[in-house]
Amino acid sequence: MTKTLHDLSDAMRKIDFGMLTTRTEGGAFASRPMSNNGEVEYEGHSYFFTYENARTVADIDATPQVGLTFSGAPDPQGAPPLFISVEGNADLIRDKAQFAAHWTPDLDHWFEQGVDTPGIVMIRVIAERIHYWAGRDEGEIAL
């Protein structure tokens, strides 16, 4: 069954952690776990929060092309999990009003002062291509 962008956004919203991959200054790949806190939009946007001094921020400043990977839990009836790979471009947002628009209470664990936490940055990944695998079902969505 072919999945739509709506289907994949809905699935990604249910997967808390994924891996965000950036390209380092030396050209290597650097991956790290990030929580999307359910912040996935049907237009193919994902949002993450980090700190200004994180390597992730420097990597995105230099090379905005990023990758995201997500894997869902196995189905209780034994069906294989859903795997999602996203290629896109990231931008860095430093506007507290935009932070507030994408804030969830779970973020308070990592950022104790909420949107007023010093040095906080929001990463927005704008998907250009999404590939998925769900058992024998696989497909790609170009945006």
Q: CA 73, CA 82: separation in Å to the nearest integer?
A: 7
The pLDDT-based confidence of 1 (bands split at 50, 70, 90) is low
Q: CA 143, CA 6: separation in Å to the nearest integer?
A: 12
Alpha carbon 64 to its chain centroid, in Å, reads 14
Domain positions in the chain are 5-142
User: pLDDT (tens digit, 9 = 90+) per residue, 46-67?
Assistant: 899 999 999 999 999 999 999 9
Give, as one character, the DSSP assignment of residue 75.
P
Query: Does domain 5-142 sit in CATH 2.30.110.10?
Result: yes
Share of the chain above pLDDT 70, in %: 96
76 or 23, greater pLDDT: 23
Partnered with residue 78 across adjacent β-strands are none
